[in-house]
Amino acid sequence: MAKKFFAGVDIGGTKILAAVVSARGEILGREKASTPRGRGAKAVLAAVAEVLEGAMRDAEVKPRRLKAVGVGVPGVVDARGGRVLVAPNIPIAGAPIARELSRRFGAPVVLGNDVNAGLLGERWLGAARGVDDAVGIFPGTGVGGGVISGGRLVTGAHGAAAELGHIVLNPGGPLCGCGARGCLEAYASRTAIERDIREGARLGRATRVSELNGGRLDVIKSRVLAEALRLGDELVLDVMRAAAQRLGEGCVAARHCFDPRLIVLGGGLIEACGGFILPIVRQRLAADPLFKRVGPCRVAAARLGDDAGVLGAAALALARD
């Protein structure tokens, strides 16, 4: 029997990652590139195609041998129509991603929300392996969410379920990329953390972030935040503590809605700074009076790192086969 190959693509606000995967979840080849900024959907689609071709070269797999391609995107997905309906942080809304990639690679293409895909990956091979009721929250450029209930992804009537980053914590809060105010994303994403660090520096608070980040305060990588925490940077400690507390509030809200056994926190920010963030989130969850007499809900860091999204996207492709 011929070996089956699948591809997973994870489109993020800052990077695009693709992998060629076996039916058992072995990553056979991968490629990564920066997401084009400010250049529109065509540029993003071209970058996705180039990254996918690079992953196939790395795996030494020809396009004709691909059974299916799964693509995780940061937004609300009309999976049946192969389009992104809403994408607050990347210019791909309305782009016919599935049709264009299928035409180029000659394989069926399945579209899904990126955090749904990441949570699927963690359930397949990572922190949520075998867990039938789990919530995933992935802070990055935005804050994505995913829910598995009774072993199945919760997608909703329009594909917009589990947009946990847009739970409104404070209607009078900062503006979110979705257009609302006070969303979890507006407090706990890396974008929000960058904003608050810049504001603190503008008001004269001392910080080493600029020094650690090549003189820049516009885009602050998670590893720079981790190093600033390690050095005891007071501004970063305060901003990160506030973001973690808000993330904990988002976890409480998700628990009230879905009663999961496990909440998986993932993404680059958690990978770099999880040792600081997770204890604060757990403390906030434990203080919730409503669930004190209900069964436990664990909080765990994702185990698959960057691979969660591509493995979950590949899982979407496997389900299509």
Residue 216 in this model has a pLDDT that exceeds 70: yes
Cα within 13 Å of Cα(180), Cβ side:
14
Sign of the CA dihedral 285, 127, 119, 277? positive
Alpha-carbon distance of 257 to 255, in angstroms, equals 5
How far apart CA 278 and CA 291 sit, in angstroms, is 19
Listed range (85-99, 132-146, 183-197, 203-217) with the worst mean pLDDT = 85-99
pLDDT at position 79: 64
Q: What is the pLDDT of residue 96?
A: 84
193 or 77: which leads in pLDDT: 193
Whole-model pTM: value is 0.88
Topology, domain 5-120+307-320: Nucleotidyltransferase; domain 5 (3.30.420)
Mean pLDDT for 70-74 is 90
Is the pLDDT assigned to residue 286 strictly greater than 80? yes
Confidence (pLDDT) at 271: 92
Compute the average pLDDT of residues 116-130. Answer: 92
Residue 282 to residue 298: CA distance in whole angstroms: 8
- Residue 204 confidence class, pLDDT cut points 50, 70, 90: very high
Could you read off the pLDDT of 55-66 as tens digits, one per residue? Answer: 999 999 988 899
d(CA 160, CA 178): 13
Averaged pLDDT, 264-293: 93
The per-residue pLDDT for 92 is: 84
User: How, if at all, do strands 15-22 and 5-11 pair?
Assistant: antiparallel
> Which residues, including other chains, have CB under 8 Å from residue 92's CB and lie 6 or more apart?
11, 41, 44, 45, 73, 75, 84
pLDDT at residue 262 tops 90 = yes
- Residue 231's pLDDT is what? 97
Tokens of 226: 């981790």
pLDDT band at 1 (very low <50, low <70, confident <90, very high): very low
Instruction: Please state, for a pLDDT cut of 70, what percent of the chain lies above it.
Output: 98
Q: Looking at residues 96-100, what average pLDDT do you find?
A: 88
pLDDT at residue 68 tops 90: yes
Give the residue extent of every domain in the chain. Answer: 5-120+307-320, 129-301
pLDDT tens sequence across 151-181 = 999 988 888 889 999 999 999 999 998 899 9
pLDDT bin (cut points 50, 70, 90) of residue 21 is very high
SS3 135: strand
Q: What is the mean pLDDT of residues 21-36?
A: 93
What is residue 243's predicted lDDT score, i.e. its pLDDT?
98
Q: Quick check: do 5-120+307-320 and 129-301 share a fold?
A: yes
Q: If you average pLDDT over every residue of the chain, what do you get?
A: 91
Annotation: CATH topology of 129-301 = Nucleotidyltransferase; domain 5 (3.30.420)
Q: Please state whether 174 falls in left (phi above 0), alpha (psi between -120 and 50) or beta.
A: beta
Determine what percent of the chain falls in helix, strand and coil, rounding each to the nearest 5. 40, 20, 35
CB atoms within 10 A of CB 251: 24
